[in-house]
Structure 1
Amino acid sequence: MARTSLAESVFEEILDRIIRGTYPPGASLPSEAELAAESDVSRLTVREALKKLQAQNIVQVKRGLGTYVKPTAQWTDLQAIIRSASAATTSPDVSLRLLEIRRMVEIGAAELAALNATEDDLQFMESTNEALRRAHEAGDLDAVTTADLAFHEAVFRASANPFIPVILGPLEQLLYTMRRETSSFLEVQKHAMEHHALVLDAIRTRDPEVARKAMQAHINQTYDDYEHFIHQNDQHQEQT
């Protein structure tokens, strides 16, 4: 039991170094002996930690050559991927990957919502849109972000598919961080209010194709808003 706990600790320590960039993708980890000395544990404990890293496809052991870090895109453990992404929330690549996930999931969720939404679901979507409007008028960025995401969560719930919220649930904090950054622009907030109203109207038609197109237009606008956000950030960095 004690060794298992030590192995977990060494695993966390090595993973943390990988995420921080001490051991970037393609880099070779120190030998088992060196890692054991650094952590003041046995080589057997280090070996157990490395086995877990290998099982999650975070590292690859090449016999006779060493242990190498694999690209994050090849990792298979969701929590490790989220930790890595959380450490790089300002990375354009992370934000674009999140937008890709949103496009795939949310357009389908809107189609299902058009078929399955109850009156309570529609009223809740309406209330989140009203909360977004009030937060926008009050200039409350945190409330804007919360209301924005609450609308999308309401669409998930209205889809009547319990697996949809599970897919994006673990990414909630990443999505919040990204959306808060882009929502710092008043124009982005206005776009969100306009598109949320259009998506809600589309879901009310009970036509999945109409709902799909409305949500697709919203996600496309989100892509445009993000590109604008990146451009503004680049300009700011050049000026400073």
Structure 2
Amino acid sequence: MSIRQLGDGEWGKLARKSLVGVVADELLDRIIAGEFPPGASVPGELELSARHEVSRMTVREAMKTLEAQQILSVERGRGTFVNPLSRWASLEAVLRAASEGEDDAAAAVQLIELRRMLETGACELAAGRISDSDLTALAGQLELMRAAHDAHDVAAFVAADLAFHDLILRAAENVFVAVLFAPLHRVLEKRRTQTSEVREIQAHAIGHHQQIVEALSTRDPHRARDAMDAHMQQTLDDLKAYVLADRPA
């Protein structure tokens, strides 16, 4: 059925569904911004319906949406409360929190932990499957990183860094790895920009990327995995030493 063929009843359902999404998104934005931290209660239906100028039914459905994603928990007789991020069941919501949230340090560390789990395995797979043209492309991205470092061009450095890792993920020839990493791209770009503003971190990354290229060139899976693991450890150490060190605990 086309939009023009929708009757008044269908239009009403679509409009309500759209409003439900708006209310749910705005409440999630407030949660991510820290207005309602984990364990805090969120406003009731009356307050939210007045704030958004929508019916209580629309608010109720929006709350059910966030409850289904385990962002909220309803305790009968007490109210509705925000769950810790570790309990959220929506990847999109977790990524929004990692990209925009207040708990920046914890999200940054956990993102590296996730990358370490996935990228070391991907590099191990890639060692046995990577083509000569892929190795040439990796070397090319490494040279772009060096040029960007010399030119103090953070954006170009980040672009080459992301492209380098994307090449390895594709060379692993595992569709599930690619699917898992696709939603992370926006968060990874923000985090890389944050860390790559430190020139010492850039220099460390260039050295480890060179070791990864050399390991992959040998087609030795264990050496490739170890090279990527060393890079992930370096990334974590540099994050703690240069980016998070001066932040309050």
TM-score relative to the length of structure 2: 0.89
Partner of 1:113: 126
Alignment of 1:68-107 (within 5 A): 68-88=81-101, 91-107=104-120
Over 3 Å counting, the alpha-carbon distance change for 1:88 and 1:49 in structure 2 is closer
Match of 1:200 among 209, 213, 223: 213
Assess if the C-alpha contact under 8 Å between 1:89 and 1:95 holds in 2.
Answer: no
The alpha carbon displacement at 1:42 in A equals 1.3
Identity %: 46
8 Å Cα contact 2:41-2:80 kept in structure 1: yes
1:209 is aligned to 2:222: yes
DSSP-derived class of the 2:96 partner? helix
Change (3 A) 1:73 1:148: same
Matched, 1:49 2:62: yes
Separation (CA, whole Å) in 2 of partners of 1:231 and 1:64: 41
Does the 8 Å CA contact 2:33/2:102 hold for their aligned counterparts? no
Measured against aligned partners, the alpha-carbon deviations of 1:177-234 in whole angstroms (never above 9, x if no partner) come to: 2222222222211211111111111111111111111111111111121122136644
CA contact (8 A) 1:28 1:69 kept: yes
Unaligned runs of 5+ in 1: none
Over 3 Å counting, the alpha-carbon distance change for 1:192 and 1:231 in structure 2 is same
Aligned-partner Cα distance in 2 for 1:33–1:181: 41
Which secondary structure state, in structure 2, belongs to the residue aligned with residue 200 of structure 1?
A: helix
CA shift for structure 1 position 38:
2.0
| Cα offset, 1:88, TM superposition | 2.9
**1:225 maps onto 2:242 in alignment:** no
Q: State the match for 2:165 in structure 1.
A: 152
Distance 1:183 1:8 in 2: 36
Q: Summarize the alignment of residues 119-138 of structure 1 with structure 2, pairs less than 5 Å apart.
A: 119-138=132-151
Q: Deviations over 1:10-60 (max 9, x none)?
A: 112211211122222111122212222222211111111111011100101
Equivalent positions of 1:144-183 (< 5 A) are 144-183=157-196
1:139 match: secondary structure: coil
Does residue 190 (structure 1) correspond to residue 203 (structure 2)? The answer is yes
CA 1:219 to 1:89, structure 2 compared with 1: closer, same or farther past 3 Å?
A: farther
SS of alignment partner, residue 60 of structure 1: strand
Which stretch of structure 1 is more off in the superposition, 12-21 or 84-93? 84-93
Return the alpha-carbon distance in structure 2 between the equivalents of residues 10 and 90 of structure 1.
23
Query: Aligned pair 1:16/2:29, yes or no?
Result: yes
Q: Which residue of 1 aligns with 2:16?
A: 3
Distance in 2, Cα, partners of 1:90 & 1:192: 25
For structure 2, the 5+ residue unaligned runs are 1-13
Over aligned residues, Cα RMSD in angstroms? Answer: 1.7
Structure 1 range deviating more: 175-184 or 47-56: 175-184
Aligned residue identity for 2:151: A
Deviation larger for 215-224 or 107-116:
215-224
**Partner residue of 1:139?**
152
Find the aligned partners of 1:175 and 1:124 in 2 and give their Cα distance.
Answer: 21
Do the aligned partners of 1:136 and 1:144 also contact (CA within 8 Å) in 2?
yes
Could you tell me how far apart the structure 2 residues matched to 1:66 and 1:149 are? Answer: 44
